[in-house]
Chains A and B, each alone.
Chain A
Amino acid sequence: MINEKTHLKISFASLARGTHSTDRLIDWKLKDLTSKWATFALEEDESGQESWRCLASTFSGLSDYTYGGFKIGAVYEAESGARTVCGARLSAEKYLSFLDSLPLIDIANSGCTLHGEVLVPLGFQHELEGSGSFTWDQSKWEITALLDGVKVRVPLDDAQSVVYFDGTNRATSIQLKQTGRSTATPFYVGFSESLFAEVA
């Protein structure tokens, strides 16, 4: 049994401000950061262990946990009762409406840091150098050599790193670490209590 204790739907819009590139594709991708977001839930398991999980995002290479196939994913878990939200059992429809209702919080005000992890197999390491005429600034990236490639850990608080993470199609995960309190309104303010009514 998993209980989602709190949620963050993080927008990357502020990273787009004041950025531009002479590479037209990268420039478009920098501006497109205004439409990027990721939804996280703080999950508590039966032993009381807490961890943040990315449920859904606009990152093209990252699989959503919301759906995952037949009897897989957070929506099915909510429907079957294996996942609750703030202790309440929700039907699949109510759970999806709940996720839709989460307000966007800009990463600058979220009180957390995000890191994306990418696995680049052997033979594809040239992708780490750049895209088109654009050269990635790797100064903030942690690159670890593996037997079958490299693992790259990129901070998602910098525009070009988010653009790299979104476009790579080799993203494996996002980790969220809370560093302070979010300055945003708590998600449940204004949220219909009827949504939390017990499902039949």
Chain B
Amino acid sequence: MSTHIVHEVKLVRLSSLELDSNKDLYAVLMLSGASNTYSGWGANAKRARDWGMAYLGCESDVIAWAIARAEEFGGGCAVWRSMGASGRITPQQWISKMRKAICAAEDLVLPSPESNSGVTGALWLASKGEFALSSLREALKQAHSFTLEKPGDPTWHFLKVTGPGAT
């Protein structure tokens, strides 16, 4: 059994005008990995961790998503930054971290309607998988439609996120 190690969470705000939604949306960008997945070999092996878009929703939906995931931190299925005792956080600490991340969210300005990538802070976002040929705006719209259709479901498969800390 593996534990999900969450190393970093950053939120980007997408203006309602950009995605034709009635509220501003937040993309939850998470640097995380499984405790039993490594990259490299032997002495160079390091726990793998990647950036991804874990969820996309309006502010209240992101909090609801954080609450639903909080149980994992209480039960030891997820930890914050390390596998040791220092990585154990309470469900309420996790929800607080998400609230702070919402307050600190940066705006994502889409470069052009057709562009399939964009930059926010140190992170580079691009559409991926079956959406690779779509624009970033279209991939985000598809992700939003997906979360409306399947509330609470993760949205890892819509965007490739590249940034510091990934191994």
* Chain A residues in the interface with B (C-beta under 8 A): 64, 66-67, 69-73, 75-76, 79-80, 92-94, 96-97, 100
Complex contact B90–A96 (CB within 8 A): yes
Smallest Cβ-Cβ distance to A56: which chain B residue:
B74
Which applies to chain B's interface (DSSP): helix, strand, loop or mixed?
helix
Residues of chain B whose beta carbon lies under 8 Å from any beta carbon of chain A = 60, 63-65, 67-68, 70-71, 90-92, 95-96, 151-152
A76 touches B68 (CB 8 A): yes
Are A76 and B92 interface neighbours, CB within 8 A? no
Chain A residues, CB < 8 A from B63: 79, 92
- List B contacts of A72 (CB < 8 A): 68
Contacts A/B (CB < 8 Å), 26 sampled: A67-B70, A67-B71, A69-B68, A69-B152, A70-B65, A70-B68, A70-B151, A70-B152, A71-B64, A71-B152, A72-B68, A73-B67, A73-B68, A75-B91, A76-B64, A76-B68, A79-B64, A80-B60, A92-B63, A92-B67, A92-B95, A93-B95, A93-B96, A96-B91, A96-B95, A97-B92
Minimal beta-carbon separation of A158 from chain B (angstroms): 28
Q: Apart from A92-B92, A96-B91, A97-B92, what 14 extra A-B contacts exist at CB < 8 Å?
A: A67-B68, A67-B70, A67-B71, A71-B64, A71-B151, A75-B70, A76-B68, A79-B67, A80-B64, A92-B63, A92-B67, A94-B92, A96-B90, A96-B92
Residues of A within 8 A of B152 (CB): 69-71
